């Protein structure tokens, strides 16, 4: 069986994890600090806070901005449920909008969805392909749009417009006009979950890139406290001589990353651009070339003169088929020993989000993409021969339906 996306776990990672286990410090400590510094250097934003997951990072930042009851947050209908769930946790209303043909949020639809209650927009770089950040950043700063913004907290007052909080769970290392995700907008959140391009088993990172007059370094210091029960000193700092006394300044969260996780991340970030992304691009190129031979196959856009993907998932679409036919093709591919998936079922189709009054008929592009998509295996150790086996399994299954 060809698996879908097993993590890359080699001796280097095992050695670094063992080193951490033997060091006497396993939770948030020196390795988390180092991983944060490496991520800041890597993407070029202003400061990084590592978290226990991408979801935790997103929720922390919504709460930092003071999002709550009566507020609205705009996000694409086509995403993983984490993006929407964190909005609900904060007591705010998720406002779904449709996507473009490239699977990313439609800026025209964002504009139509903005109201006086809108506090945040959460674009998602789906499959690793960056959203239209120039257009999104221009939109929130436009006089008529910023004029509608009703600040309720001091952070909202200071920004004076809608916050752009990018969900970059898929797009570490992707480019937009020669800049990496992390510095494309106000705040960006990565995920290091087991299936993501760079994994720490579970984990995430908040990239701070807030404009003047925000002091990103100060916000980082505050977020460390907020992500650890509002306690003024973390366990590592308290181990230093005489540093036992601490205070609690607010009922914070338990969102910190462990040094065991950071150890994996440190190994991976060093070889990410020159090794991980290189191999993933080769796999994408091989799929793209193979499927471009068939007029029924629609190859996703993953490189343009402005954007370059992080090659997270390969979203093959089949032209002119029904949802039932797509499901049948998936069944046949699986019987041939290849694991495939569907990224994602649009959230308005989910029981909970339907119960909030969302109707998939309002998101035609999301629905059409969903019913025709099959996500193919992409992972570091997938060989060219295996890529060819996947292609053959898809082609033979299509021909049989």
Which residue is it, tokens 């690793």? 128
Give me Rg for the CA atoms of the chain. 22
Nearest distance from residue 54's CB to ligand PLP, in Å?
Answer: 3
Nearest CB to ligand PLP, comparing residues 124 and 266: 124
The rounded distance, in Å, linking the Cα atoms of 273 and 266 is 13
Stretch that binds ligand PLP, among 100-108, 163-171, 228-236, 380-388 (CB under 6 A): 163-171
Given candidates 87, 121, 169, 360, which one binds ligand PLP under the rule CB under 6 A?
A: 169
Q: Which residue is nearest to ligand PLP (CB)?
A: 54
Smallest distance, ligand PLP to C-beta of residue 74, A: 15
Which pairs with CB-CB distance under 8 Å and at least 24 residues apart come from 149-156? 149/116, 149/118, 150/116, 150/117, 152/66, 153/65, 153/66, 155/64, 155/65, 155/66, 156/65, 156/66, 156/119
CA dist 251 and 201 (Å) reads 27
Cα 1 off chain centre by: 28
171 touches ligand PLP (CB under 6 A): no
Q: Is 204 in the site for ligand PLP (CB under 6 A)?
A: yes
- CA distances 350 to 80, 331, 358, Å, are 11, 22, 9
Minimum distance from CB of 188 to ligand PLP (Å)? 12
195 vs 395 by CB, closer to ligand PLP: 195
Instruction: Go through the chain and tell me how many residues it has.
Output: 401
Q: Which helix (H) or strand (E) holds 34?
A: helix 30-43
Nearer to ligand PLP, 191 or 375 (CB): 191
Q: Give the total of residues touching ligand PLP (CB under 6 A).
A: 14
CB of residue 346 to ligand PLP, shortest distance in Å:
12
Dihedral of CA 147/100/77/254: which sign? negative
Choice from 28, 53, 216, 256 touching ligand PLP (CB under 6 A): 53
Kindly tell me which of 87 and 124 has the beta carbon lying closer to ligand PLP: 124
Interacting positions 257-316 with ligand PLP (CB under 6 A): none
Spatial distance between the Cα atoms of 5 and 378, rounded to a whole number of angstroms: 6
In whole angstroms, what is the distance from residue 3 CA to residue 39 CA? 29
C-beta closer to ligand PLP: residue 190 or 398 = 190
Report the residue from 124, 225, 266, 267 that binds ligand PLP according to the rule CB under 6 A. Answer: 124
Using the minimum distance from each CB to ligand PLP, give the nearer residue, 204 or 300: 204
* 82/187 with CB nearer ligand PLP: 82
Closer to ligand PLP by Cβ: residue 253 or 294: 253
Stretch that binds ligand PLP, among 33-41, 115-123, 165-173, 260-268 (CB under 6 A): 165-173
* Residue placing its CB nearer to ligand PLP in the complex, 57 or 252: 57
Question: Tokens representing 255?
Answer: 């969102």
The full 3-state SS of 153-188, as one line of letters, equals CHHHHHHCCCEEEEECCCCCCCEECCEECCCCCCEE
329 makes contact with ligand PLP (CB under 6 A): no
Q: How many helices (H) and strands (E) does the chain have?
A: 16, 13
Contact region for ligand PLP (CB under 6 A) — 49-57, 241-249, 251-259, 274-282?
A: 49-57
The pattern of x and - marking residues 75 through 114 that bind ligand PLP according to CB under 6 A reads ----xx-xx-------------------------------
Q: For residue 244, is the peptide bond before it cis, meaning its omega torsion is within 30 degrees of 0?
A: no
Query: Burial level of 180, CB count in 10 A (0-12/13-18/19+)?
Result: buried
- C-beta of 172 vs 290, nearer to ligand PLP: 172
Residues that bind ligand PLP (CB under 6 A): 53-55, 79-80, 82-83, 124, 167, 169-170, 191, 193, 204
């Amino acid at each position: 069986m060809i698996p879908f996306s097993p993590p890359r776990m080699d001796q280097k990672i095992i050695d670094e994890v063992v080193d951490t286990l033997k060091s006497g410090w396993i939770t948030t400590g020196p390795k988390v600090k180092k991983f944060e510094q490496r991520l800041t250097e890597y993407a070029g934003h202003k400061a990084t806070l590592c978290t226990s997951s991408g979801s935790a990072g997103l929720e922390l930042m919504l709460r930092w901005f003071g999002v709550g009851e009566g507020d609205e947050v705009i996000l694409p209908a086509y995403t993983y449920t984490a993006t929407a769930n964190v909005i609900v946790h904060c007591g705010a209303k998720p406002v779904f909008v449709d996507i473009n043909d490239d699977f990313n949020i439609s800026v025209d639809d964002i504009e139509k969805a903005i109201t006086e209650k809108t506090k945040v927009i959460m674009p998602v770089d789906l499959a690793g392909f960056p959203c239209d950040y120039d257009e999104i950043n221009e939109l929130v700063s436009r006089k008529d749009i910023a004029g509608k913004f009703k600040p309720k907290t001091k952070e909202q007052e200071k920004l004076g417009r809608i916050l752009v909080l990018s969900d970059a769970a898929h797009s570490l290392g992707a480019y937009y006009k020669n800049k990496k995700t992390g510095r494309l907008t106000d705040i960006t959140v990565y995920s290091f979950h087991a299936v993501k391009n760079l994994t720490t088993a579970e984990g995430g990172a908040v990239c701070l890139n807030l404009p003047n007059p925000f002091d990103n370094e100060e916000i980082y210091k505050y977020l460390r406290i907020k992500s650890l029960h509002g306690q003024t000193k973390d366990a590592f700092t308290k181990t230093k001589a005489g540093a036992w006394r601490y205070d609690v300044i607010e009922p914070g969260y338990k969102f910190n990353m462990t040094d065991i996780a950071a150890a994996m991340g440190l190994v991976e970030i060093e070889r990410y651009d020159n090794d991980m992304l290189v191999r993933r691009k080769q796999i994408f190129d091989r799929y793209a070339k193979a499927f471009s031979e068939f007029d029924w196959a629609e190859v996703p856009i993953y490189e343009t003169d402005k954007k370059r993907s992080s090659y997270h998932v390969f979203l093959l679409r089949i032209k002119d088929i029904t949802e039932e036919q797509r499901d049948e093709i998936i069944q046949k591919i699986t019987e041939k020993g290849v694991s495939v998936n569907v990224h994602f079922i649009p959230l308005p189709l989910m029981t909970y989000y339907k119960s909030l009054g969302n109707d998939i008929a309002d998101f035609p592009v999301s629905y059409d993409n969903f019913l025709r998509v099959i996500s193919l295996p992409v992972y570091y150790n997938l060989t060219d021969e295996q890529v060819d086996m996947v292609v053959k399994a898809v082609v033979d299954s299509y021909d049989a339906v």
